[in-house]
Amino acid sequence: MGLRPNLLTRRTAGVATTTLALLLSTAAVGVVPAASAFSAAPSKATCAEPADTHSDARVKKGGVAKHDPNSLSAAQVRDREADLAAALRDRANFRTGPGAVTPLASVTIPVVVHVIQRDSTRAGGNIPDSLITSQINVLNQAYSGATGGAATAFSFQLQKINRVTNPSWYPIVQGSTAERNMKSTLREGGKNTLNMYLGELSDSLLGWATFPQRKLTSMDGVVVLNESLPGGSATNYNQGDTGTHEIGHWLNLYHTFQGGCGGSGDSVSDTPAEASPAYQCPTGRDTCSTAGLDPITNFMDYTYDSCMYQFTPGQASRMITAWNAYRAA
């Protein structure tokens, strides 16, 4: 649609040329006895946040999510912003005197990918390593500003692919006991390690994520539809930007449409206010009377992958601020 010329070409090349030269070790497939299996509904996603896990989800257009807490209430946003301020004050206490902690200006995030499978077939979740390494390539393009947006402080390095065959975890059901058991069993690393769970998902979701918290829990991480990775079969959502979007939440970004046309919106000053999620690629959409068209090309909206290509400088600043408050060592 002319919104980001050469991006599709650049990403297609990345799918073809990305290799396993990244730091990568592939774990043996773990087989767990089956319990109950769930069925997922097809369709496009929005973001939601179960109150107990502080998560956010991306939903397909027309999809009906089981939860819709990702569009947070005003009270939830106030609580989160107050917590961020408190976390920053706490960190400031460690920046003076012996053992002072210096805020980071750039960060390489280690990534552990858990491929959740029903069986050994592609239809059962057994996606190839090439899709995963292509996803890392897309993340590095998006967060470096190579796709046309602001450069952020973040890059991503694949550390491990862990394949797990367990029909009781497939599809992954948001907010379920099975999801909690899966993450409690599999999560690796500290606050600075991104754990990404790939599989078929429930409730028309493309993905969901936890926001950062001062105390690390086993729920921390992102869940992404396996076929939304670059080269996957999720039409209009298969260039890897569900991963980009969900990691944005993991790094403390709200949706661009958070709060609608009033209040503090997404708590970022350079993203124009937006009354509701944008789907597909509605060029020229303008749902609020304040200055600026709707940010339909922003990674934190709900448009097609082919339409979104940028973070703003304000979002980049918010992410590194939150990293230093919550995830830095």
- Residue pair 34/168 in contact (Cβ under 8 Å)? The answer is yes
Q: How many CB atoms lie within 10 A of CB 121?
A: 9
- Residue pair 170/39 in contact (Cβ under 8 Å)? The answer is no
Q: Report residue 27 as tokens.
A: 């774990």
The Cβ-side half-sphere exposure at 255, using a 13 Å CA radius, reads 34
Residues carrying an active site annotation: 246
Closest CA to 39 of 118, 113, 119, 121: 118
Q: How many residues are present in the chain? A: 329
Closest CA to 146 of 4, 289, 317: 4
DSSP state of 13: H
Its sign, for the CA torsion 315, 130, 146, 239, is: negative
